[in-house]
Amino acid sequence: MIIDAHAHIFPHVQGINTDGPTRGAGYGRIWVGDQQVQLMPALNEETKFASEMLIAGLG
């Protein structure tokens, strides 16, 4: 059996890709260039996923 288990932990969204800069837009959304994308469920005011959030979800 092969299990692919990994997690994306990020304190905030701030980067750049071929479509332009990326930045958090709140409630799971991010700006990619001039377009807004729903990246995660709209659970938190800030678009971030801290390690504490992962641990709390496992309990």
d(CA 31, CA 59): 31
Give the pLDDT of residue 20: 95
Please give the Cα distance from 13 to 36 (Å, whole number). Answer: 13
Contact 30, 8 (CB under 8 A): no
User: pLDDT at residue 4 above 80?
Assistant: no
Give tens-digit pLDDT for 13-25. Answer: 999 999 999 999 9
pTM more than 0.75: no
Which pLDDT band holds residue 7 (cuts at 50, 70, 90)? confident
The residue ranking higher by pLDDT, 44 or 26, is 26
Domain positions in the chain: 14-58
